[in-house]
Structures are given as C-alpha cells and as structure tokens.
Amino acid sequence: MSRYPLALDLAGRRAVVIGGGAVAMRRAAALLEAGALVSVVAPAVLPELAALDVVVHQRPYRPGDLGGAWLAHAATNDPAVNAAVAAEAERSRIWCVRADDASASAAWTPAVTRHGDVTVAVTAGGDPRRSQQLRAAISLALADATLPLRPRRGASESSASESSASGTGERRGCADAADTATADAHRRGARSGGGAPMGSVALVGGGPGDPGLITVLGRRLLAEADVVVTDKLAPRGLLAEIDPDVEIVDAGKAPHAHNLTQDAINALIVSRALAGQRVVRLKGGDPFVFGRGGEEALACVRAGVPFQVVPGVTSAVAVPAYAGIPVTHRGLTQDFAVVSAHLDPSHPGATVDWESLARGPGTLVLMMAVAHLEQIAAELVKHGRSGATPVAVISDGTTPGQQVLTSTLGQVAQDAARRGIRPPAVVVIGEVVRLRDLLSAA
C-alpha cells in the first residue's frame, strides 16, 4: 500500500523519542532541527544525545510517556518496547515511527536532502539503504545542477520550491552560503518605497578553463541565475548548460577590447539585483585573484545589495599543475609569487618590484605576461636571475587546446614569438619547470 507523503511543521510542538542510542540521537537531532520540543526516554542515554537541547528522562519507557506529543519515535533495540510505544501512539492517535520494523510502523522517516528552500524526501518501500542511495544521487544532482533548482520567476517561495521538489520554506541545517545570501535578499523584502523584492549578486570563479573545474556551489548558482554577466576568460562551456530564458551578458574584458568598462559592469550587476534578479558574475579563475572582484563587491556594498563570493580554482596554480608543473616542490622551492605582468616594466604605471622578484621566490608565476615577455625576461636577468632558469609558457591551460612551451629565461621570448603563443597564457619561471618532463613521462 502506498504511503501518503507529508511535510510536518513541528515548530514548538512536542515530540518524544524512546531510546538513547545512536538511532535515537539522529532522530532527536532532526526533530530539533525542525524546531520541535523534544523529550527523550531511555534507561541509558549517549552523552552526545544528552548534550542536545532535549529533556531527558533517564528511565525505562512507561505508558503515558507520549502524552501531549504530536510525533513519537520508537528507537530502542528492544522490539517489545518499540511495539508497546507504537501501540500507545495508535491508541492516542499520535503518529509513530518504529526504527526496527517499517512494516509495523504507522509513519516512516524518509532519507532527506536539503538545498536551500528545497527539501527532497525519499522512501523506497521501507528499505533504508535504498532510500539513502537514492537520496545521495539526488543530492549530488541538485548540488551540481544536473537537476535544476531555479525557481519560477514570479512564483511564491513555497510554490517555486515545490516545482522542483518538496518545499519547506525553511533555511536551516544543510543551507549553505548560497542559500543564506538568497534568503537574506528575500528577508530584506521590498526596497524602501515599496518595490520588487531585492535580488542578489554572486561573484563566481569559473576556474581556469575546463568547465569541470568550477565548484559545485558555483555551478548550482549558475543554474539558479536570472542573469549571467560573463568574462571572455570564463569557461564558455558552462554557458551552453544554462536555461535558454536566462539572460547572458558578455562583458568581454579581452585585452584592449572591453565590451563593458568596469564601471559599467558594476552598475549592471547592481541595477539587476535592485530589480529583484539573481545575478551571477561569472569570472575566469578566482574572482579575487586579478579579477577585480573586490571592486564589484564594493559596488554591491555601497548599493546595499546582498552579495557573496564563490572562490574559484585560480589559473596561477591550476594551469601549471595541468601542465605537470607543481609551483612548489620539496627540495626545489618552498615559495612562489604570482604577479600581474600586463605592463611593460618600463611603463610609468608599472609597480612590480622586478628587482626583488629576481632575487626572491623560487617560482614566479606571471599572469598576462605574453605581450611583454621579452622586456620582463630582460628585467629579471638584469637583476640577477640566471638566463638559464627554466621557463614554461602554457596557453589555453586546462582546455583541449592547451599548449606548453618550455624554454629558458634568456630564450623564452624568442621561442614564444616563433611558436605564435597568444593569450591567455600563464608563465612559470623556476626550477620546478624541470619536473614537467619527469611527470609527463610517468
């Protein structure tokens, strides 16, 4: 016989757990999470269970212990006691879950996964292992956006969540930073003067190029977005997975060919959030590593827009790793420096201390250096770095088009020009480059 699924509001209502072991502890914790007033009855109670915000009656179960309860859990290791608890619950018209015998239980506890205001509860014919396996698969699909979480625009919070799964309207337990930011936006409600509910901005690091290197949280936020503002270096493969009704704004940000200025980008993400939209600012690498994410975050702060930062896998470390080059290695170097090298060292606005870098960290990782590679190499050699120092130039790192050039500091500019190396590229300078041949041969 099929069971009738139901989400219960237990906030402020009494629930009783009979039992003091590990199963009872899990049940009590879940009830507390739902806001129930929990009493525990058992001759012996685990210290971790007693430490919860529950009322403990350390004695055997006796008739009448379920008085005033809305829900009971029979979770002892004695079937006779569990049967007696279930019988009292039946007489008192209290729903009771038996942990030891699903077939004799008036109610079942499903395997549950929560993602923000979406709750998915799974039952599988009373087979807890099967329920848990299904729950795990659904949880992963929700987390990586294989199953969409994006609510319908204009729907209420509860009806939107029900369109994907069972909506609880609550944000607790498994809610993470993404859920909290969105909840904060909704709680702020209408703007002063009464307008659309406040939206939010997520500054998402897309990683170095391979779409698989975005974080699970970043992928999920993309699936929930109303507007995605993307950079040229953001993984374009991710955009193909976005719902067709999501607006995609290409901010460009290619060298010397910006589609939008930084001020225009700041104004765009703020205005869309103020209009009640969920905005994802998708950036290559990490938003706070040469990504101007700090400026965008400050623009949100000044406008009173809720925002969050979702770190990304930075190209400075990931691209060398994909090329078989660890930026640190025991016995070779224990430090490295990451440098924005988009300016010629002789440029009046250049602030990089090349003299210190020539004498300093064992490994140098240069971003945006291809255009001025000859001048940079000459500057490092002038200040003492050997022209024989190994160098790697990795273009289109982590993508199918990745190319790796290995050379020396004295020769790399000429070799890169001869190979026609173009941005985006990461330059690695140091003895760790020698490891590439060993690791590639493994």
Q: Which amino acid is at 369?
A: A
Whether 67 shows a pLDDT value over 80: the answer reads: yes
Whether 441 shows a pLDDT value over 50: the answer reads: yes
Give the model's pLDDT for residue 287.
94
Question: How do residues 260-269 score in pLDDT, each as one tens digit?
Answer: 899 999 999 9
Looking at 77, 93, 109, the residue that finishes a domain is 109
- Over residues 392-396, mean pLDDT: 96
Give the model's pLDDT for residue 219.
87
Please report whether residue 57 resides in a domain: yes
Please report whether residue 189 resides in a domain: no
Looking at 175, 209, 225, the residue that finishes a domain is 175
- Catalytic residue status for 231: yes
Q: Mind giving me the DSSP string for 237-256? A: GGGGGS-TTSEEEEEE-BTT
Whether 155 shows a pLDDT value over 90: the answer reads: no
Together in a domain, 299 and 374: no
Helix, strand, coil share (%) of the chain residues, nearest 5: 35, 20, 45
In the structure, what pLDDT confidence band is assigned to residue 109 with cuts at 50, 70 and 90? confident
Whether 349 shows a pLDDT value over 70: the answer reads: yes
Together in a domain, 216 and 290: yes
> What's the total number of domains in the chain?
4
List the single range of 59-73, 193-207, 253-267, 338-352 with lowest mean pLDDT.
253-267
Q: Please give the C-alpha separations between residue 156 and each of 182, 184, 197, 226, in angstroms, as whole numbers.
A: 14, 16, 11, 16
Whether 436 shows a pLDDT value over 60: the answer reads: yes
Give the model's pLDDT for residue 237.
82
Please report whether residue 4 resides in a domain: no
In angstroms, how far is the first alpha carbon of the chain from the final one? 58
Looking at 82, 109, 136, the residue that finishes a domain is 109
Residues of the chain with pLDDT > 90, as a percent, come to 62
Domain of residue 373: give its range: 316-441
* DSSP label at residue 149: -
Whether 184 shows a pLDDT value over 50: the answer reads: no
**CATH code for the domain in which residue 251 is found:** 3.40.1010.10
Q: How far apart are CA 138 and CA 126, in angstroms?
A: 18
Give the model's pLDDT for residue 161.
37
Give the model's pLDDT for residue 177.
38
Whether 55 shows a pLDDT value over 90: the answer reads: yes
List the single range of 66-80, 225-239, 307-321, 322-336 with lowest mean pLDDT.
225-239
In the structure, what pLDDT confidence band is assigned to residue 149 with cuts at 50, 70 and 90? low
In the structure, what pLDDT confidence band is assigned to residue 426 with cuts at 50, 70 and 90? very high
Neighbours of 422 (CB within 10 A): 12
SS3 state at 413:
helix
Give the model's pLDDT for residue 141.
80
- Over residues 202-229, mean pLDDT: 92
Q: Are 295 and 311 in contact (CB under 8 A)?
A: no
Whether 169 shows a pLDDT value over 50: the answer reads: no
Higher pLDDT: 400 or 252? It is 400
Which one is catalytic: 226, 253, 283, 286? Answer: 253
**SS3 labels along 333-361:** ECCEEEEECCCCCCCCCCCCCHHHHHHCC
Please report whether residue 300 resides in a domain: yes
Whether 245 shows a pLDDT value over 90: the answer reads: no
Question: How do residues 118-128 score in pLDDT, each as one tens digit?
Answer: 888 888 877 77
The mean of the pLDDT values for the chain is 85
Together in a domain, 425 and 370: yes
Give the model's pLDDT for residue 361.
76
Together in a domain, 121 and 163: yes
Together in a domain, 47 and 127: no
Residues of the chain with pLDDT > 70, as a percent, come to 86
In the structure, what pLDDT confidence band is assigned to residue 431 with cuts at 50, 70 and 90? very high
Give the model's pLDDT for residue 173.
29
> Element (H or E) spanning 204, and its range?
strand 200-205
Together in a domain, 330 and 432: yes
Which one is catalytic: 210, 231, 283, 286? Answer: 231
